[in-house]
A and B are shown apart, each in its own frame.
Chain A
């Protein structure tokens, strides 16, 4: 069964003229890693908000069509219970820290406290997550005094510790430096190995190319393209919809245009190297 099923979904935020989502139909399967790319204002974040239940529970407005999470319509879900099912990490590393805990260890434990998990179990889970995400050296630090990159890692740990089956990650690195970005992608790699259902919105296309199973390109509230990662990212048409193309793919097309085509269009550097060597 599909984890999330969207059927002819349209949505308009309150007090706005344009539809934020237009007639979207898509099934997100359990255990797959999805990447969402495309122009800003094209509906990427709104789609996340919809799956997360923030639309229509938090942001009111007009929702049409069926949105099924685990077979139950989103309107029938209790938003509070949904948060125990779907984890959510977003851009701003500063607003995701609660501001009420004095150590990282307690910050990471907050969600589990709210869920009423027994204390011994909290300690065990938080310890494991901190080791897994390599923030064990930070556990005694004050989360309100960390750098953006460190805070974003703590935000990930806080959500991952809740062990939700599904994660929505909305532009986690757009406000981080290269080191913070690398650390966050290290976390995303770890998550991929855990076989959770993951939806990642991200502009850093080389990272998308590396980790995602399927890609959706959003434009003007609709899905312009969708399919397996390689097929989508090697298609130059996606740039007309505001999506970036991996440098390796741009290079692949430039080779073809120059009359020196590679066997196929690469989307990562490690894919490009043998293709070039084969040609020579």
Chain B
């Protein structure tokens, strides 16, 4: 069970080629962060994974199904994608109704609906807002509502687009524990992020994209201590790594405890 992108390219209807000949495999239960500059092709690549972008060359296979053979909606039930802006998604007049929407759409039993809603609510920390109209909530909380609504569809893979934007410390803590819980349930979590601290602290595998292609794919150390990759993908080394570099320390340090132990 995996998402496999095989030598796939995608061109927008206006002819603009946004990714060229990329290949990557995302296995069940993995945590992958995709980093890189705007325009590198990150969003185009993940939109191929849930069938929104059908490749113009090559194939995308999700759990054995070629995305070309099914509608975007049916692929999306396996690969959920939470867009960057929650307002593109939310339309119900209470948080509960928004989260229940997909389970009801699938015509599940009341018991199953309740189970899924409770699970999604617990992971996203929105218990206290269930009866509130999402539009009366601050933007970062609306984002959690949008995430909960996708979790309630119980996809095998979840893609989070810039989940940390505008989040405070509490929001970041909820995100971290959500990602861990999802992984424990066997759900793969992918994220597109500009927040390097978030990437190294929560994702074992980092994919750096640049120039419409995958530049490097590996552990946080392999990516962030490869100066050529950092420069070419125009990403920033996490702060602790930067401090280690300024101190000319050996050992490709990225985490606080490593640095403390070294000194």
A147 close to B (CB within 8 Å): yes
Q: Which residues of A contact B38 (CB under 8 A)?
A: 147, 149, 177, 179-180
In this complex, the interface size class of chain B, counting residues with CB under 8 Å from chain A, is 20 to 34
How would residues 248 to 280 of chain A score, 1 for a CB under 8 Å from any chain B CB and 0 otherwise?
Answer: 101100110010100000000100110011011
Q: Which residues of A contact B235 (CB under 8 A)?
A: 178
In the complex, are the beta carbons of B170 and A269 less than 8 A apart? no
B183 close to A (CB within 8 Å): no
* Cβ < 8 Å to A, chain B residues 234-263: 234-236, 238-240, 242-243, 246-247, 256-257, 259-261, 263
Closest to A147 in B: B38
In the complex, are the beta carbons of B246 and A203 less than 8 A apart? no
In the complex, are the beta carbons of A248 and B239 less than 8 A apart? yes
* Cβ < 8 Å to A, chain B residues 77-133: none
A243 to B256, CA, bound (A): 19
In the complex, are the beta carbons of A244 and B256 less than 8 A apart? no
Given contacts A255-B263, A260-B263, A273-B246, contact A247 B169 (CB under 8 A): no
Q: Which residues of A contact B172 (CB under 8 A)?
A: 244
A248 to B241, CA, bound (A): 11
B171 close to A (CB within 8 Å): yes
Q: Which residues of A contact B247 (CB under 8 A)?
A: 273, 276-277
Closest to A177 in B: B38
A174 close to B (CB within 8 Å): yes
In the complex, are the beta carbons of A244 and B37 less than 8 A apart? no
B205 close to A (CB within 8 Å): no
Q: Which residues of A contact B156 (CB under 8 A)?
A: none
A177 to B259, CA, bound (A): 28
Closest to B40 in A: A177
Given contacts A147-B38, A178-B37, A272-B243, contact A203 B259 (CB under 8 A): no
A178 to B208, CA, bound (A): 14
Closest to B257 in A: A254
Q: Which residues of B contact A254 (CB under 8 A)?
A: 256-257, 259-260
A243 interface neighbour in B141, B169, B234, B243, Cβ under 8 Å: B169
B72 close to A (CB within 8 Å): no
Closest to A42 in B: B168
Least CB distance from A20 to B in Å reads: 11
B217 close to A (CB within 8 Å): no
B interface residues (Cβ-Cβ under 8 A, vs A)? 37-38, 136, 138-141, 165-172, 194, 197, 234-236, 238-240, 242-243, 246-247, 256-257, 259-261, 263
- Other A-B pairs beyond A244-B168, A247-B240, 6, CB < 8 Å: A39-B170, A175-B165, A239-B169, A242-B168, A248-B239, A251-B243
